[in-house]
Structure 1
Amino acid sequence: MQAAVVTVGDELLSGDTENTNATWLCRELTERGVSVERVFTIPDDIGDIAQIVNESYAAYDAVLVTGGLGPTHDDVTMEGVAAAFGRDVEKNEEAAAWLTEHGGYAAGDLVDGTTHLPVGSRVLHNEEGVAPGCVVESVYVFPGVPAEMKAMFAEVADEFTGEVQHVELVHAGEPESQLVDRFAELRERFEDVQVGSYPGDHVRVKLSGPDESVVVEAAAWLRERVDPPEETVE
């Protein structure tokens, strides 16, 4: 399964809010074997949301959208997702009933627009907040509040599957530029193993692949051929 993650919010683009949702979703999807192909951060704009959702829906098996749910003036994600599919938004009676029966809200307490969803969508109830999410075709729409997003994702997590990649880390005390030849040889020897290197106070080399034994063998091969960092890394 290939997926795209779309995070919506002017506050993300201005830097007022750290985009932790994208990182969390990518990690969760990767652990389930899903290949995340793109991450988009876009403003609270119906046209931008519709365009990115439409293009991503056509290109990937699943699209996960987070942020911009609710009845306030800048919560336009539902309208944008609906526009991507040429649908209207309307009050969802199932969502409204759930909020009064399980959420502890009286019907009169809900601000108009709270339960407006794209026509024909599947409701995702919000166990940690108010605004519901939804699923339209293979587009999943979650709140932007991290606790609400995580709880809602947990309800549909089993719908995201793929070939799980096994991971081994190798720590090197040499500059990344000096490891290029050994990376090239590793790729030749272990064709199904992907190599990623991340410099910092030392170089972390991430090896991943579908066959755990092959990844372990590749990691052992590389460890024998690199200088370790000065201090042992756990």
Structure 2
Amino acid sequence: MEVAILTVGDEVLAGDTTNTNATWLAGQLSDRGVRVVRILTVPDDHAVIRDTVTEWRAAFDAVVITGGLGGTHDDVTADAVAEAFGRDLTVDPSVREDVIETVAAYRDRNPELVEAHDIDLDVDAWASLPEGSRPLINPEGLCPGCVIENVYVFPGVPDEMKALFELVAGEFGGDTVSTTLYTPQPEGSMVDALAGVRERFDVTVGSYPNSETANRLKVTGTDPAAVAAAVDWLRDRVEIVDD
């Protein structure tokens, strides 16, 4: 299963917000045997989001999007995804009810704040999702997510994104396996060994230098036996230490 991750937000591109969502999602997907083949951050730009979703939904098994959902002026993801599928935005009654209940609970908890700032949300703006999508009710916040065919759309708030991913985590799976090794050897001293293991086994090997701890080698493939054989071959040629 090949999956692409799209994060949306001007604040991420500006460096104001660290893109922890993409890192967390990639780890969760990889742990399930999924091959993450793209990670891209785009601005809150309707056309860019629409065009990326249009291209990616046809190219990959699934697309995971996080960010740009809600009812503020720069929340354009839901509308862009809807247009990528040639659909309108609609409001599911169950989603509207959940948004109303979430707002009411917030008002009850923060009466002084609500009164001081005259908070009056447009419920439908926050509840709108692409027509025909499967709503994902948000247990951690206001804005829902959704699934439309092979595209999964989550809010950008990390706790909310994680909660909604858990609702659909079982829909992601694959046969990719990997083993990570650690070595004190400098990367330049392993050139022949890394080339040799790639030639002999149907695996990929990532080499990740780290000046503070041991360098990391990650052996990945779809055949567990091939991965195990490649790891054994490397152990005979590279100094390996416990992690």
Q: Decide whether the 8 Å contact of 2:138 with 2:145 is kept in 1.
A: yes
User: TM-score, structure 2 length as denominator?
Assistant: 0.86
Give the alignment of 1:93-172 within 5 angstroms.
93-100=93-100, 103=102, 105=104, 110-112=121-123, 113-165=125-177, 167-172=178-183
1:200 has 2:210 as partner: yes
Which ranges of structure 1 fall in alignment gaps of 5 or more residues? none
**Conservation of the 8 A alpha-carbon contact between 1:21 and 1:146:** yes
- The worse-fitting range, judged by mean Cα deviation, of 12-21 and 155-164 is 155-164
Alignment of 1:40-119 (within 5 A): 40-100=40-100, 103=102, 105=104, 110-112=121-123, 113-119=125-131
Alignment size in residue pairs: 227
C-alpha RMSD of matched pairs (Å): 2.0
Higher helix share: 2
The answer to whether the 8 A contact 1:5-1:40 is kept is yes
Kindly state the Cα deviation for residue 187 of structure 1 after the two structures are TM-superposed: 2.2
| CA distance in structure 2 between the aligned counterparts of 1:213 and 1:82, rounded to whole angstroms | 43
SS in structure 1 at match of 2:70: coil
Question: SS of the counterpart of 2:40?
Answer: strand
3-state SS of the aligned residue for 2:104? coil
How far apart in 1 are the matches of 2:86 and 2:227?
Answer: 46
User: Does structure 1 conserve the Cα–Cα contact (< 8 Å) formed by 2:103 and 2:142?
Assistant: no
Q: CA deviation at 1:200?
A: 1.5
Q: Give identity over the alignment, percent.
A: 51
Paired residues of 1:92 and 1:116 also in contact (CA < 8 A): yes
Matched position secondary structure for 1:41: strand
**Does the residue aligned with 1:105 lie in a helix, a strand or coil?**
helix
Tell me the CA shift for residue 171 of structure 1.
2.3
What is the DSSP-based 3-state SS (H/G/I as helix, E as strand, rest coil) of the residue aligned with 2:210? coil
**Which residue of 180, 192, 199 maps to 1:181?**
192
DSSP-derived class of the 2:4 partner: strand
Structure 2 counterpart of 1:73, which letter?
Answer: H
Gaps of 5+ in 2: 106-118
Secondary structure of the structure 2 residue equivalent to 1:86: coil
Paired letter, 1:75: D
Match of 2:108 in 1: none
Shift of 1:184: 1.9
TM-score calculated relative to the size of structure 1: 0.89
Offset of 1:109 from its aligned partner?
6.5
